[in-house]
């Protein structure tokens, strides 16, 4: 994109932080779309190793992220609820796709060779008998089949069809495969990290433009619209998620679309985007005071900045998601606040806006290099008046590498 105007980051403190790598501004070439076949072969090999360890003969995949993880099949068509899509990942050998006919041309362009289709929609037998037949052909009459059934998973096929499928493969038993897909997807390859880093840079560049976009009196919906347009102009493929709020002194609703209320002096404006490049998300927010920043908002903001520092300082391989939570929570509580209503202080991200793990006191997921995580401390200044702050990083052997360009150390003002 040629018309980018990159502001001078030197005017904003906090861009470089304690030796943690910062994100350069300026133009950045887009990473290659898609992945080499070696990436998929490696994913499959890792999956088959994990499946062997848990005694599974195959996994049955029905969801967008997992289907794409193993095949590379990228489409927004999953928004249509009409047709299920199935992928059988066997304990050895190549995956087999059982899909609606409309998907054949794009799936045939991926590394998947065994593709079976039915004419869909066909609600009286929406791929179920073809899937059952394929399972018998590949797995025989008895098999242990993994299906993700645990936290953060769903089954993307009608429940009645799932029951019908199980009745058609009576020798098969179905077991929870959440740990397999979670273990695989939590650790990103360098090619995946490059895509996330790219979209994080784009969002960082656009957030830097907000003081020149937003003005007091502007309806929030128009601020958001302008930000979405800038994200696209800067190279985002899609602005899948852009939420936020602007409210006097702070906000407590952090997941809503914008309304028509104009930005008003005394507001804190928050914008949070999960913007996408080649199927990979960033997920971080920024805050601005509309007009002169209120001391309470400044203190809340400074606390969140300090909480983020505390987590960055201990984010090392071997630490846990719970450690990150506790480091942030301590700063928030020591500064006299309660944590906000978000329920966690960060999470994984990648092919989805949010992924495992969650930074909660109870999540003792051990951090390993290659994990891409948010740090998302939030607090309540008073009932109904809170703030949330968010950064994205990838964990390296020696600590965190920021993927979002660090937010300014003090609450920036929009005039």
* Contact set for a copy of itself, span 1-60 (CB under 8 A): 33
Q: Which of residues 171-200 bind a copy of itself (CB under 8 A)?
A: 176, 178
Instruction: Establish if 100 lies at the interface with a copy of itself (CB under 8 A).
Output: yes
Cα–Cα distance measured from residue 143 to residue 137, given in angstroms and rounded to the nearest whole number: 12
Candidate ranges 97-105, 263-271, 297-305, 307-315; the one touching a copy of itself (CB under 8 A) = 97-105
Using CB under 8 A, which of 39, 238, 265, 306 touches a copy of itself? 238
Interface with a copy of itself, residue 341, by CB under 8 A: yes
Residue 241 in the binding site for a copy of itself (CB under 8 A): yes
344 binds a copy of itself (CB under 8 A): yes
Please choose, out of 73-81, 136-144, 289-297, 325-333, the segment that lies near a copy of itself by the rule CB under 8 A.
73-81
Do 148 and 178 meet the contact criterion of CB atoms below 8 Å apart? Answer: yes
Nearest approach, Cβ of residue 50 and a copy of itself (Å): 18
Residues 363-382 that bind a copy of itself (CB under 8 A): 363
Q: Is residue 208 exposed (0-12), middle (13-18) or buried (19+ Cβ within 10 Å)?
A: buried
Give the separation between CA 105 and CA 51, rounded to whole angstroms: 30
229 forms part of the interface with a copy of itself (CB under 8 A):
yes
Contact, 337 vs 383, CB < 8 A? no
Cα separation, 172 vs 142, whole angstroms: 5
Q: Does 232 bind a copy of itself (CB under 8 A)?
A: yes
* Distance of alpha carbon 42 from alpha carbon 402, whole angstroms: 26
Q: Does the protein bind a copy of itself through residue 81 (CB under 8 A)?
A: yes
- Nearer CB in complex with a copy of itself: 194/313: 194
Q: In terms of CB distance, is 123 or 318 closer to a copy of itself?
A: 123
CB of 270 to a copy of itself, least distance (A): 13
Least separation in angstroms between residue 205's CB and a copy of itself is: 16
What string marks each residue from 246 to 265 as x (binds a copy of itself by CB under 8 A) or -? ------xxxxxx-xx-----
Please enumerate in sequence order all residues whose Cβ is within 8 A of that of 295, keeping only pairs 6 or more positions apart, or say none. Answer: none
For the segment 110-129, give every residue that binds a copy of itself (CB under 8 A): 119-124, 126
Identify which of residues 33 and 330 has a Cβ nearer to a copy of itself in the complex.
33
Which residue has tokens 């329920």? 343
Distance CA 283, CA 311 (A): 17
Please provide the DSSP assignment of 316-363 as one string: -BTBBHHHHHHHHHHHHHHTT-EE-TTSSS-EE-SSSSSEEEE-STT-
217 sits near a copy of itself (criterion: CB under 8 A): no
Q: Is 212 in the site for a copy of itself (CB under 8 A)?
A: no
Minimum CB distance to a copy of itself, residue 17 (Å): 27
Q: How far is the CB of 130 from a copy of itself (least distance, A)?
A: 14
Regarding 225 and contact with a copy of itself (CB under 8 A), the answer is yes
How many residues lie near a copy of itself (CB under 8 A)? 76
CB pairs under 8 A, 24+ apart, for 137-142?
138/58, 138/88, 138/90, 138/96, 139/57, 139/58, 139/88, 139/90, 139/172, 141/171, 142/171, 142/172
Which of these ranges, 2-10, 41-49, 77-85, 137-145, lies near a copy of itself under the rule CB under 8 A? Answer: 77-85
Our CB check for a copy of itself shows the closer of 17 and 83 to be 83
At its nearest, how many Å lie between a copy of itself and the CB of residue 356? 8
Please pick, from the candidates 46, 233, 298, 326, the single residue that binds a copy of itself as defined by CB under 8 A: 233
**Rounded-to-integer distance, Cα 390 and Cα 283, Å:** 8
Instruction: Name which of residues 265 to 294 contact a copy of itself (CB under 8 A).
Output: 274
Residues in region 145-164 near a copy of itself by CB under 8 A: 147, 149-160
Q: Which of the residues 296 through 315 are near a copy of itself (CB under 8 A)?
A: none
Distance CA 338, CA 379 (A): 6
Asked whether 413 and 288 are in contact (CB, 8 A), the reply is: yes
CA distances from 225 to 239, 283, 347 (A): 10, 18, 27
User: How far apart are the C-alpha atoms of 324 and 301, rounded to whole Å?
Assistant: 18
Cβ partners under 8 Å of residue 170, min gap 6: none
Q: Could you tell me where the beta strands, DSSP code E, fall in 58-151?
A: 58-61, 86-90, 96-100, 114-118, 143-147
């Amino acid at each position: 994109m040629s018309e980018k105007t990159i502001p001078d980051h030197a005017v904003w403190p906090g861009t470089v932080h304690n030796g943690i790598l910062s994100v350069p501004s300026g133009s950045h070439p887009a990473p290659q779309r898609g992945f080499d076949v070696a990436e998929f072969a490696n994913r499959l090999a890792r999956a088959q190793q994990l499946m062997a360890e848990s005694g599974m003969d195959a996994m049955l995949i029905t969801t967008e992220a997992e289907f794409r993880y193993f095949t590379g099949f990228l489409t927004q068509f999953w928004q249509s609820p009409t047709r299920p899509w199935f992928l059988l990942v066997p304990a050895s050998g190549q995956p087999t796709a059982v899909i609606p006919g409309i998907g054949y041309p794009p799936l045939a362009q991926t590394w998947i060779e065994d593709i079976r289709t039915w004419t869909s929609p066909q609600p009286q037998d929406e791929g179920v008998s073809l899937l059952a037949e394929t399972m018998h052909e590949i797995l025989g009459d008895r098999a242990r089949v993994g299906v993700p059934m645990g936290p953060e998973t769903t089954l993307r096929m009608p429940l009645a069809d799932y029951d019908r499928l199980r009745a058609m493969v009576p020798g098969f038993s179905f077991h929870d495969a959440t740990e397999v897909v979670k273990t695989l997807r939590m650790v990103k390859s360098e090619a995946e990290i490059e895509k996330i880093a790219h979209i994080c840079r784009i969002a960082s560049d656009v957030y830097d433009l907000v003081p020149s976009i937003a003005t007091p009196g502007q309806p929030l919906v128009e601020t958001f619209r302008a930000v979405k347009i800038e994200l696209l102009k800067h190279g985002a493929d899609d602005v899948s998620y852009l939420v936020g709020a602007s409210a006097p002194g702070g906000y407590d609703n952090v997941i809503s679309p914008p309304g028509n209320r104009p930005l008003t002096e005394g507001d804190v404006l928050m914008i949070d985007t999960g913007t996408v490049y080649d199927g990979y998300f960033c997920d971080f927010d920024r805050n601005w005071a509309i007009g002169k920043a209120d001391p309470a908002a400044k203190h809340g903001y400074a606390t969140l900045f300090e909480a983020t520092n505390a987590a960055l300082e201990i984010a090392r391989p071997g630490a846990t998601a719970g450690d990150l939570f506790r480091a942030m929570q301590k700063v928030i509580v020591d500064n006299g606040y309660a944590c906000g209503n978000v329920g966690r202080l960060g999470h994984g991200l990648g092919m989805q806006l949010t992924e495992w793990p969650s930074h909660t006191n109870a999540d003792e997921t051990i951090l390993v290099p290659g994990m891409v995580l948010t740090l998302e401390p939030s607090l309540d200044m008073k009932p109904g008046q809170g703030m949330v702050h968010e950064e994205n990083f990838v964990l390296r052997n020696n600590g965190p590498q920021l993927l979002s360009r660090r937010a300014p150390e003090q609450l920036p003002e929009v005039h």
